[in-house]
A and B are shown apart, each in its own frame.
Chain A
Amino acid sequence: MNPSQRSSALLDQLRRDRPWQRVPESVRQRALERLEGELQARPRRRALRRGSALAAVLLLAAGAGWGLQRERELHDAAAVALAAEPAPARSGTARAAASAGAAPASAAERGVPDFEPTTVAVARGADRAWLGAVNPVANGDFAAGDRLWSVRLLPDLHSARRSPSSGSPPLAGAAYRLRDGLLCMSVSARQRILGVWGGESDVEPASLPLAAHRRYRLSLRVEVSGSLPIELFVRVAPAAPAPPFVVAALPRTSTAQYFTADFEPDVASGAARVAFLARAAAGAGRSEICLDDIAVTGG
């Protein structure tokens, strides 16, 4: 196969199996419902706009004692039109926060820099009530070592492309250790570590049942030390509407930090999993990130 054919074949594969090939069902339903609302509200809104000047005249006229009945009708029409006004669209993440009733705290309040409050569904946990709750994420506290967890170093494709000798980046286990019941991973600049709970273990697969329209809380404890800033992203998947997640730029402190995110799935899932992705910023040196008490409670 010549290079051009290889590129064509690759493009052909991508055409067929991109993960965003189809709209998620919950999004499809929401989009069609909103469209329906727009179709119903639009003519009334337009009529209302055009009639606003006339309405003002009518109000004056009503004060003068004529056309009162018609003015009432106009007001009724206005009330209907305004009630039918669709709510402005929000980003998926903010929607997850809103559906769970969790008001996003400000960055300063959370102590989490660089993230915009409107897009972050994270509350830094002063509330630690979840610590005592039953956690269906078995071994989420790493009491049984790395059982049910798969921790891997993702290939640095950026570097791989610059190295003439490297072929396909190797699939590598990440450098991690278990220390005092914490899962600790050492990362150097731009390294990305992916951890997945359940589903990837051939020996002992595990998954998390989620019921529709019940409130859950994803929570975890994190410690970071070293010279490089680390970003951490944790999510439960699949869970509609938007996968709930915790995202945080972590201060470099070995003091434990607690993060929580509430969510309410649209649909039930018998096989949800938990995944985290930690990434170190560019720079010199290394950092270590330790995780503990990863839990999904509620339901």
Chain B
Amino acid sequence: MIRLSTWWSAARSERPTAERTSRIQAIAKAHLDAIWRTARDLGVDARDVEDVLQEVLLVVVRRIDDILVDRERAFVLAATARVVANWRRTRRRRPLELSDELDALGPVVGGSSGLPPGPERALEHSERLELLRVALAAMTDAQRVAFTLFELEQLTAREIAEQLGVPEAAVESRVRRAWQVFHDCCERTGEAESPEPTEADE
């Protein structure tokens, strides 16, 4: 019976405190949009992104004690990048590529705004998205993560480096190379196909 009491005490002590629970909830509420965006930017298709989102929240629950107060956003975005990397490794062949394509045309077919933007504007918008998709696909995984976190989510190189466990200079180098890929894609639209990924900075 002594052992049993010890076990019950241990179980009680592991229950998240109210403070910890409310912090987890606050982080989730504050950064849900950013996790969603980052997962989509990193190439998770529409039908899997909710699962990725849930996985990131579980990481937050597990690691809540490791998350520094002023690094919450950086932590969840880096966690998103890791979960996406796992997703990419384990996902099966994508049979519904066409559905993703129609998702990307959200404004044309009734996206989140629900307002018809007119064909010209919708086309222009879908071209921009297509360009981003092509550019991100042309980057290496490391470049894509650095570019997404730095350029799209606007974390600092230091924050990214801390969370990914790499030197700051490496992050800067990846962002620089990724930017070059993006710029090349912008320039080559209408001229040539996007460059293949290079592993120079790996």
Q: Interface residues, chain A, CB within 8 Å of chain B?
A: 3-4, 6-7, 10-11, 13-15, 17-24, 27-28, 30-32, 34-36, 38-39, 42-44, 46-47, 50-51, 54, 58, 67, 70, 89-93, 114-116, 119-120, 150, 152, 154-155, 157-158, 160-164, 166-169, 171, 192, 194, 196, 199-200, 205, 231-233, 235, 237-238, 242, 245, 247, 269, 271-273, 275, 277, 279
Q: Known: A32-B28, A162-B193. Contact between A119 and B47, CB under 8 A?
A: yes
CB-CB under 8 A from A168, the residues of chain B are 124, 127, 190
B100 to chain A: closest CB distance in Å?
A: 10
* Cβ–Cβ contact A200 & B99, under 8 A: no
Report Cα–Cα, A228/B114, bound state, in Å.
34
What is the total number of residues of chain B having a CB less than 8 Å from a CB of chain A? 78
CB-CB under 8 A from A50, the residues of chain B are 7, 10-11
Q: In B112-151, which residues have CB < 8 Å from any A CB?
A: 112, 114, 116, 119-120, 123-125, 127-132, 134, 151
Q: Known: A27-B53, A200-B116, A275-B110. Contact between A10 and B128, CB under 8 A?
A: yes
Report Cα–Cα, A43/B17, bound state, in Å.
11
Per a CB cutoff under 8 Å, which of B33, B116, B152, B183 touches A4?
B183
Report Cα–Cα, A43/B11, bound state, in Å.
7
Q: Does B24 contact A (CB under 8 A)?
A: yes
Report Cα–Cα, A164/B187, bound state, in Å.
11
- For A249, give the chain B residue with the smallest CB separation: B95
A153 to chain B: closest CB distance in Å?
A: 11
* Cβ–Cβ contact A51 & B7, under 8 A: yes
Q: Known: A43-B14, A233-B99. Contact between A164 and B191, CB under 8 A?
A: yes
* Cβ–Cβ contact B61 & A39, under 8 A: yes
13 A-B pairs whose Cβ atoms sit less than 8 Å apart in the complex: A19-B103, A22-B33, A35-B28, A47-B10, A92-B50, A93-B96, A119-B95, A155-B123, A161-B192, A168-B190, A275-B102, A275-B109, A277-B105
Per a CB cutoff under 8 Å, which of B61, B182, B189 touches A38?
B61
Per a CB cutoff under 8 Å, which of A28, A43, A116 touches B15?
A43
* Cβ–Cβ contact B112 & A39, under 8 A: no
- For B57, give the chain A residue with the smallest CB separation: A35
* Cβ–Cβ contact B53 & A47, under 8 A: no
Secondary structure of the A contact surface, majority rule: mixed
CB-CB under 8 A from A238, the residues of chain B are 110-112, 114
* Cβ–Cβ contact A7 & B186, under 8 A: yes
B102 to chain A: closest CB distance in Å?
A: 5
* Cβ–Cβ contact B24 & A39, under 8 A: yes
- For A150, give the chain B residue with the smallest CB separation: B119
Report Cα–Cα, A242/B36, bound state, in Å.
15
Q: Does B1 contact A (CB under 8 A)?
A: yes
Per a CB cutoff under 8 Å, which of A3, A7, A192, A272 touches B110?
A272
A13 to chain B: closest CB distance in Å?
A: 6
Q: Does B83 contact A (CB under 8 A)?
A: no
A235 to chain B: closest CB distance in Å?
A: 7
B88 to chain A: closest CB distance in Å?
A: 15
B44 to chain A: closest CB distance in Å?
A: 10
B131 to chain A: closest CB distance in Å?
A: 7
* Cβ–Cβ contact A31 & B32, under 8 A: yes
Report Cα–Cα, A235/B4, bound state, in Å.
57
Question: Residues 71-112 of chain B: 1 if any A CB is under 8 Å from the residue's CB, otherwise 0?
Answer: 000000000000000000000100110110111111111111
Excluding A157-B130, A161-B191, 17 further A-B contacts by CB distance (< 8 Å) are A10-B131, A20-B37, A21-B33, A35-B25, A43-B15, A46-B11, A54-B7, A89-B50, A91-B50, A114-B95, A168-B127, A199-B110, A232-B98, A233-B99, A245-B102, A247-B98, A271-B110
CB-CB under 8 A from A237, the residues of chain B are 106, 109-111
* Cβ–Cβ contact A13 & B128, under 8 A: yes
- For B191, give the chain A residue with the smallest CB separation: A164
Q: Known: A114-B95, A275-B108. Contact between A162 and B32, CB under 8 A?
A: no
Per a CB cutoff under 8 Å, which of A6, A10, A233 touches B102?
A233
Q: Does B163 contact A (CB under 8 A)?
A: no
Q: Does B196 contact A (CB under 8 A)?
A: no
* Cβ–Cβ contact A196 & B16, under 8 A: no
Report Cα–Cα, A235/B105, bound state, in Å.
12
Per a CB cutoff under 8 Å, which of A20, A162, A167, A169 touches B40?
A20
CB-CB under 8 A from A91, the residues of chain B are 47-48, 50-51
Report Cα–Cα, A50/B10, bound state, in Å.
9
- For B3, give the chain A residue with the smallest CB separation: A54
